[in-house]
A = this chain, B = another copy of it.
Amino acid sequence: MAGFDLLKRLLVGRKLASTKLGETLLPKRIALPVFASDALSSVAYAPDEILITLSLAGVAAIGLSWPIALAVGVVMLIVVLSYRQTVHAYPSGGGDYEVATVNLGPNAGLTVASALLVDYVLTVAVSVSSGVQNARAMLPFIAGHEGMVAAGLIVVLMALNLRGVRESGTFFAVPTYAFMAAVLGMTAWGLVRIFGFGQQLRAPTADYDIVGSPDYTPFAGLAVVVLIARAFSSGCAALTGVEAISNGVPSFREPKSKNAATTLALLGGVSLSMLGGIILLANLTGLKLNDESGGSSFFYQGQPVEAKMDTAMGQLALTIFSDFPAGFYVVLTATTVILFLAANTAFNGFPVLASILAKDKFLPRALHTRGDRLAFSNGIIALAVAAVALVLAFNASVTALIQLYVVGVFVSFTVSQTGMMLHWTRHLAAQRDPRRRRAMMKARSINAVGLVCTGVVLVIVLVSKFTHGAYLAVLAMAAVFALMKWIRRHYDTVEREVAVVPSEANLLPSRIRAVIAVIDINKPTLRAVNYARATRASTIEAITVAVDPDEAAAMMAQWDADDIKVPLKVISSPYREVVGPFYDYVKGLRSENPRDVVAVYIPEYIVGHWWEQVLHNNTGLILKSRLNFLPGVMVTSVPYPLKSSKLAARRASRNTAAAWRRPGSGQVKVGMPRE
């Protein structure tokens, strides 16, 4: 442990850097929009889905929308209270994955992780689809092309994230507060008009009749109970994103946990107000929605209505701002923007979760570290491809996609609440202070209520939606879970295989045989020769593959003339292959001397332009890629910078500095020299 302490002492400055620099700590007024855009945006589609599901049972069922919204509100209240406990108990930002892993073991953690990964994909698909539906109210020409438009937008989001958007707090704050102001303002103005001025507000669909599905009419029996459960399940989409704050605790200002808990309460309050307001106004204005996939249809004066309806947000904005058309555009623009912002949040969250999973070896290790841009990009691309596939398969229908959604987040809620129960129980066993014990008991009972509530909702969601699409989400989660288990098993196997055996730790290879690949005789080749000579290998030889004898003879003569201090060997190649015979030669060398190491030196040009790569290094690159699969053969690239690369290098070093180095990185070096 001496090394550990010394390191800690030496790393004091660094620790500060790790937590302070780069990620500025957020005041509550900025933290709310940063972490809440996902949660808030779901009020744009949750009310719609309640109304659409109920429409399957005809116009009479619409009246059930407010008790269902109330139930959703109660669940949200309980979930918010529960997560306030999590925020206090796990301030490190590991979120549900950490809670589940610590208290219930890796399989529970992995279950949560699978659920969340699948839900990130669905967040993108649902948010963008809903954004497109809201935009459709303003831009009618979108109608009929929703799938393609949504796919295109996801590709744009992907491109932005691949280029690396650096979001500031303001980036989130402006649209989030604009959305809150627009929706709450609309609600308030609507209530003032109705109750203050006593005006009669009628939604565009107020006079329509709904013909529901024959399965739910007459409006009675078990089928209708299931339908109400489904409407409630869809409404629970309003809860997605609540868990985001528990991942973000480290970004809050001190006192972190307290501020995070307050922000969570604020979020809950705002969400509830918006959801309640929309459902209330929908009931007051006679707003209706039908199922575009054909489950229910509108009739007006006995005639079927063919046109596609605006979203609830669109109809309300039109109705309430009938005297102020700009209001309609403000509300719908704010709604559309926040939905895209919510999708963008998933593009940030997915790679972060993947990074945590990679650290625990459930995903490729390369995802763990930043700076490995390639790997990070792969995560973004994977998310985008999956989301595009979904919106195209479901033609960007929120109603269809919502059947797959919510499962993941409630799996995560339920497992996490179970973990919190165990957490408090464990801590209670060790705690003697009666005041603290009381606080813990209280916290445990809150989490117990949370567990029961989210567990019941999970069952309701699964039962009511399973055959409507939830089974797909469950299958995807199971597949992700299995894949991650399998990756971890692979890494564990390899780790055992390559574990250090102390007795063999310092075994040197008996000899090093250096081989220089010669293509032309020039400065790069000589540099490779001289570097190889400087390593004082046991044997050293230059090898060239002769495609035609005259060329080989000329090369031999020049090698002589230049008085190079290493022998040149020629390998014949009657069929003008270069790589094959060289590979065979190196392989033969290795087979004859299995305890030796063969070190192959390949001269390489450093070029200044990409197109120069086409003209140089090709043979060397192919040689390298082939030799890299030979055990006992070290391949060394010996670089020779061409003039053209000098300018490019100067340019690149400027760009590199900006792109790769952040302040504080790599500055504090810790030396541990042992003689």
Contact = CB atoms under 8 A, between A and B. Distances in A.
Interface stretch (A70-78, A238-246, A384-392, A576-584): A576-584
Nearest to A550: B4
Interface in A176-209: none
B606 A629 contact: yes
Interface stretch (A228-236, A296-304, A457-465, A501-509): A501-509
A597 B531 contact: yes
Contacts of A494: 605, 616, 642
A150 to B, nearest CB: 29
B574 A17 contact: yes
A530 B506 contact: yes
A523 B509 contact: no
B531 A14 contact: no
B502 A563 contact: yes
Contacts of A624: 637
B506 A553 contact: no
Contacts of A425: none
B526 A508 contact: no
A572 interface: yes
A580 B537 contact: no
A505 B526 contact: yes
Interface stretch (A100-108, A113-121, A334-342, A367-375): A367-375
Given A552-B7, A557-B3, A370 B500 contact: no
Contacts of A674: 560, 567-568
B572 A364 contact: no
Interface string A620-649: 001010001111111111111111010001
A577 B370 CA distance: 4
A580 to B, nearest CB: 4
Interface string A83-117: 00000000000000000000000000000000000
A673 interface: yes
A467 interface: no
Contact of A639 (B549, B631, B649): B631
A513 B622 CA distance: 27
Interface in A582-635: 583-585, 597, 599, 601, 604-606, 612, 614-616, 618-619, 622, 624, 628-635
Task: Tell me the interface secondary structure of chain A in the complex.
Answer: mixed
Contacts of A534: 508-509, 512, 597
A619 B365 contact: yes
Contacts of A160: none
Contacts of A445: none
A167 interface: no
A601 B637 CA distance: 11
A572 B639 contact: no
A580 B660 contact: yes
A572 B14 contact: yes
Contacts of A583: 660
Contacts of A487: 615
Nearest to A1: B557
A472 interface: no
A638 B522 CA distance: 27
Contacts of A17: 572, 574
A420 to B, nearest CB: 25
Given A7-B570, A368-B576, A536-B536, 20 more contacts: A3-B557, A7-B552, A18-B549, A364-B615, A366-B619, A370-B576, A371-B576, A371-B577, A371-B580, A372-B618, A498-B524, A508-B534, A535-B599, A545-B666, A571-B669, A580-B665, A624-B637, A628-B639, A631-B640, A631-B649
Interface of A: 1, 3-4, 7-8, 11, 14-15, 17-18, 21-22, 355, 364-366, 368-375, 487, 490-491, 494-495, 497-502, 504-509, 512, 521-524, 526, 530-531, 533-537, 541, 545-549, 552-554, 556-557, 559-560, 562-565, 567-581, 583-585, 597, 599, 601, 604-606, 612, 614-616, 618-619, 622, 624, 628-643, 645, 649, 652, 660-662, 664-675
29 contacts: A4-B557, A7-B552, A14-B574, A15-B549, A22-B575, A366-B622, A369-B577, A369-B578, A370-B577, A371-B573, A372-B578, A372-B618, A500-B562, A502-B562, A504-B526, A508-B530, A568-B674, A569-B673, A571-B666, A577-B660, A577-B665, A581-B665, A585-B666, A601-B634, A606-B628, A606-B631, A629-B639, A629-B645, A635-B636
Q: Top 5 nearest A-B pairs by Cβ distance? A: A371-B577, A366-B618, A581-B666, A580-B660, A498-B522
